[in-house]
Amino acid sequence: MEKLVYLLTHEGDAPGPELRAGLVEHAVPALRAASASQISVNVDDEHTAVGDAVAIRRSSPPIRAMVSFWLQNSDDREGCEEALAPHARELSGYLVVESRPLVHEPPRGARAPGANLVTCISRKPGLSDEEFIWRWNVEHRKVAVETQSTFAYVRNAVVRRLTDAGGDWEGIVEESFPIEALSDPQVWYACDDAEEYQRRLARMMESVTAFLDLSVLESTPMSEYWQG
């Protein structure tokens, strides 16, 4: 079994409910018919509009959705890409290795609690493979868990890009936060006073600037709809 992740771009003013309906009601059944399983749909929809202020959008049109699923063989993905293509202006796919430092099982067929922050990352120039992996998987994991209100954390380490379109990302990260975190930094950083917030923010920024190229990073709050 292999995990595939697809990023879908769409106009920024395209209604979120329509994007969601198209993916859940039409793309998901077509994905199942193409032998996909463990399907997860993430959409920038009306529930996460409050998070526009924390989004980092560089693609044009922007990334509006992410769909992930598992296949027996990623070489047999043609039917899956045909299922997703009508719902995106541009479709970029990646073969990934998944790890889950924080596990939270979302409800099947319904909107998951909170918001899922989908972030596409590349390493800081000059870092070796060994240092990048250590800083991401070991050091930053500890910082993220200890400084934020994250209750689910999925690392998708990119093995290779599957489409001509898309960025050369090295990871696509999913972090679940309480919905209130999108508009309240102190909820995001799991603290209740300004001094502690500044301390946690500084620790987080020290961690991310040590291993990520922040000039290309893209991050979008989305609603997760686990389809199973």
Predicted confidence at residue 189, as pLDDT, reads: 96
In sequence order, which residues have a C-beta less than 8 Å from that of residue 198 and are 6 or more positions away?
A: none
Question: What is the reported pLDDT for 85?
Answer: 97
pTM of the model as a whole: 0.96
Query: Is the pLDDT assigned to residue 80 strictly greater than 90?
Result: yes
Can you point out the beta strands (E) in 85-164?
90-102, 115-121, 152-161
In total, how many domains does the chain have? 1
What does the alpha-carbon distance between residue 144 and residue 142 come to, in Å, rounded to a whole number?
6
Strands 90-102 and 37-43: unpaired
One-letter amino acid at 30 equals: A
What integer is the mean pLDDT of 2-14? Answer: 94
pLDDT at 12: 85
Tell me, what's the pLDDT at 37?
98
Instruction: Say what the pLDDT of residue 13 is.
Output: 87
Per-residue pLDDT averaged across 168-193, rounded? 96
Contacts of 46 (CB under 8 A, 6+ apart): 15, 16, 17
DSSP strand E in 108-227: where? 115-121, 152-161, 171-177, 218-226
Nearest to 90 by CA among 164, 160, 28: 164
CATH code for the domain of 61: 3.30.70.100
Question: What per-residue confidence (pLDDT) applies to 181?
Answer: 96
> So what's the pLDDT on residue 191?
94
Q: Give the model's pLDDT for residue 174.
A: 97
pLDDT at 47 over 90: yes
The whole domain housing 141 covers 2-226
Measuring CA to CA, which residue among 220, 225, 191 is closest to residue 51? 220
Look at residue 96 and tell me whether its pLDDT is greater than 90: yes
